[in-house]
């Protein structure tokens, strides 16, 4: 078999996996944002009648995965693997969702890059001949993330202007070896990059170098230009990080022009008091599962690169004075 690999970090699929369906569930704030209409389901509040935000997040992830299966009229028994991850310690949202799904389960951790990582790994497992259907699911929740990473939301602390707002949302994508839909044609697995940013209220800056590195490596590996893509969407650098990533790419001779945006910039608007934009695994997963896939299917976007960006620190590592390592994983989706 020929190695399906080009350059240092990129794999190119021989039989590009099909995105059969997708589903997104979000909280009220995301539903009120500019992409509100693109989401499949908007919860009235963040707890949804559950006894804790953590259980609510796990339930939201389950709803997204069930929704993706329903959209494609696929039964659980037809799914070969479930790939999932989230931000919570020991990825409990995913573990508890996997308990309910009862599918062979591969747990991933890539912080906010997890949807792109899941799509990349899932595509390799399908193109490699190990599965016909794979369900990828990723979630985050504003209140679970705030109290784990920062402060209890009840405290009402003032947020830094560079801080991002963790999205309450879960997105799921159903990948298939056959069928009709957009296809994942290549993926670039990122390296961990650390520019010694220690400010946990500026994760966009911590992740921007990794996103820039992955985009740069993708184009070097695959011998293409940003103009060959109708959209490059990172997720989730926010406004601060997006500017920095553009600047870093420019310094490396890559002009992304106007078709480089960020899921964290798209999901809220200026009236929503989110400061630097959205973040959290849920952000890029719901923007991708909703708006971006809809625009690809509508023919508005022909070839999209989703670059999931993860800040790979923990509260413990930050308190111990460590800087914030970043990672970016890219997948290319074509109509």
Residue 48 touches a copy of itself, criterion: CB under 8 A:
no
- Of these, 57, 63, 127, 236, which contacts a copy of itself (CB under 8 A)? 127
Identity of the residue, 37 or 99, whose beta carbon is nearer to a copy of itself in the bound complex: 99
The C-alpha atoms of residue 122 and residue 135 are separated, in whole angstroms, by: 8
Which class for 115: exposed (0-12), middle (13-18), buried (19 or more C-beta within 10 A)? buried
Contact call for residue 11 and a copy of itself (CB under 8 A):
yes
Q: Measured between alpha carbons, how far is residue 245 from residues 191, 206, 212, 252, 268 in Å?
A: 15, 10, 5, 11, 20
Residue with smaller CB distance to a copy of itself, 10 or 261: 10
- Rule CB under 8 A: say whether 80 interacts with a copy of itself: yes
Q: Does 232 engage in binding with a copy of itself (CB under 8 A)?
A: no
Collect all residues with Cβ–Cβ distance below 8 Å to 220 and sequence separation of at least 6. 7, 8
197 or 231, CB closer to a copy of itself? 197
Residue 107 neighbours by CB distance under 10 Å: 14
Secondary structure (DSSP) of 207-239 = HHHHHHHHHHHHHHHHT--GGG-SEEEEES-HH
301-320 residues in contact with a copy of itself (CB under 8 A) are: 312-317, 320
Among 59-67, 150-158, 190-198, 244-252, which window interacts with a copy of itself (CB under 8 A)? 190-198
Q: Does 132 bind a copy of itself (CB under 8 A)?
A: yes
Q: In the numeric block, which tokens belong to residue 122?
A: 């899932």
282 touches a copy of itself (CB under 8 A): no
**110 contributes a contact to a copy of itself by CB under 8 A:** yes
Q: Determine the longest span between alpha carbons in the chain, in angstroms.
A: 58
Q: Does 201 bind a copy of itself (CB under 8 A)?
A: no
Output the smallest distance, CB 14 to a copy of itself, in A.
Answer: 8
Which region, judged by CB under 8 A, interacts with a copy of itself, from 96-104, 223-231, 232-240, 273-281?
A: 96-104
Distance CA 253, CA 249 (A): 6
Q: How far is CA 184 from the centre of its chain?
A: 15
Count of C-beta atoms within a 10 Å radius of residue 145: 24
- The least CB distance from residue 206 to a copy of itself, in Å, is 12
Tell me if 154 contacts a copy of itself by CB under 8 A: no
# chain residues binding a copy of itself, by CB under 8 A: 65
CB burial of residue 302 (10 Å; 0-12, 13-18, 19+): middle
How is residue 212 written in tokens?
A: 């820039």
Q: Single out the residue of 32, 48, 71, 95 in contact with a copy of itself (rule: CB under 8 A).
A: 95
Query: Residues with Cβ < 8 Å from 234, sequence gap 6 or more?
Result: 211, 241, 242, 245, 260, 261, 262, 263, 284, 307, 308, 309, 328
**Is residue 52 a contact point for a copy of itself (CB under 8 A)?**
yes
Q: Residue 327, interface with a copy of itself (CB under 8 A)?
A: yes
Of 92, 185, 224, 230, the one binding a copy of itself by CB under 8 A: 92
What is the binding site for a copy of itself (CB under 8 A)?
A: 1-5, 8-9, 11, 14-15, 51-52, 54-55, 80-81, 85, 87-92, 95-96, 98-99, 101-111, 117, 121, 124-125, 127-132, 148, 189-194, 312-317, 320, 322, 325, 327
């Amino acid at each position: 078999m020929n190695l399906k690999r080009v350059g240092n970090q990129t794999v190119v699929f021989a039989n590009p996996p099909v995105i059969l369906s997708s589903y997104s569930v979000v909280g009220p704030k995301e539903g009120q944002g500019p992409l509100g209409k693109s989401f499949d389901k908007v919860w009235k509040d963040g707890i949804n009648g559950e006894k804790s935000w953590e259980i609510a997040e796990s339930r939201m992830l389950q709803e997204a995965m069930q929704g993706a299966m329903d959209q494609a009229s696929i039964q659980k028994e037809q799914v070969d693997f479930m790939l999932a991850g989230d931000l919570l310690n020991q990825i409990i949202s995913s573990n508890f969702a996997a308990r309910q799904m009862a599918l062979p389960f591969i747990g991933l951790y890539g912080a906010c890059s997890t949807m792109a990582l899941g799509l990349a790994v899932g595509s390799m497992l399908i193109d490699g001949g190990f599965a016909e259907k794979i369900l990828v699911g990723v979630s985050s929740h504003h209140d679970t993330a705030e109290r784990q990473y920062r402060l209890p939301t009840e405290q009402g602390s003032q947020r830094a202007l560079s801080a991002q707002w963790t999205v309450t949302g879960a997105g799921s994508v159903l990948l298939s070896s056959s069928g009709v839909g957009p296809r994942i044609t290549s993926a670039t697995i990122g390296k961990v990059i650390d520019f010694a940013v220690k400010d946990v209220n500026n994760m966009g800056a911590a992740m921007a170098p990794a996103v820039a590195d992955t985009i740069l490596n993708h184009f070097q590996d695959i011998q293409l230009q940003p103009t060959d893509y109708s959209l490059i969407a990172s997720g989730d650098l926010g406004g601060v990080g997006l500017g920095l990533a553009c600047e870093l790419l420019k310094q490396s001779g890559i002009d992304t022009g106007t078709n480089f945006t960020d899921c964290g910039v798209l999901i809220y608007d200026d009236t929503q008091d989110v400061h630097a934009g959205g973040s959290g695994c849920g952000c890029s997963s719901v923007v991708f599962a909703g708006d971006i896939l809809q625009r690809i299917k509508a023919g508005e976007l022909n070839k999209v690169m989703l670059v999931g960006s993860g800040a790979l620190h923990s509260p413990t590592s930050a308190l111990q004075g460590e800087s914030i390592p970043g990672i970016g994983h890219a997948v290319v989706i074509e109509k």
